[in-house]
Amino acid sequence: SAGGNTSFDMMQGAINAYNTFAGSSGSNSGGFFNNFNSTFQNAQKMYALYKQFDRNGDGKITADDIEKYLQQAGLGGASPFLAKAIFQTVDQNHNGSLDFTDLMALVTILNKLYGQYGYSAQ
C-alpha cells in the first residue's frame, strides 16, 4: 500500500486516530501539547495491541484474526458473522487487512460491544 508504512507515519496515524476517537476537536490549539504525552503512551499501547491482534505476525490484521479474537473472548458462536461485519466496518481502505489506524476503530467498536457484557477489549 502507498504510504503509512514507516514507524513515524504509523505513530502519526495512531495519534490522529486516537484524538478522533477520544473526541478531540482535531485542532492543535491549546491542549495538544498538554495531552501529547498521554496520547503518545496510548498510541504505544495501541501498537502493542495491534501486534497482539496480528496472530500470524505478518503485519496485517484480517477477518480471521478478528474471528480468533472473538472466539477467545467467548463469542465463538457469533464470531464468523460478527468478525466479518466488524472487519468490513473498520477496513477504511478496503484492502482486506487492517492497518494501525483501522485498529483504533476496531477497539472502539469492541469496547462498546463488550461493554454490554462487562468485558473490555484492552
Domains and CATH numbers, the chain: 7-115 (1.10.238.10)
DSSP-based three-state secondary structure for 109:
helix
pTM of full prediction above 0.85: no
d(CA 20, CA 29): 15
Q: Which of 103, 32, 37 is nearest to 65 (CA)?
A: 103
Q: What angle do CA 15, 106, 74 make, to 5 degrees?
A: 140
Q: How far apart are CA 107 and CA 122, in angstroms?
A: 8
Residue 121 in this model has a pLDDT that exceeds 60:
no
User: So what's the pLDDT on residue 1?
Assistant: 42
> Which one of 28-32, 52-56, 113-117 scores highest in mean pLDDT?
52-56
Q: How far apart are CA 19 and CA 39, in angstroms?
A: 8
Which has the closest alpha carbon to 103: 55, 59, 47? Answer: 47
For the chain, give percent helix, strand, coil, nearest 5.
60, 0, 35
Tens digits of per-residue pLDDT, 53-102? 887 777 788 988 888 888 877 766 766 788 888 899 999 888 899 887 78
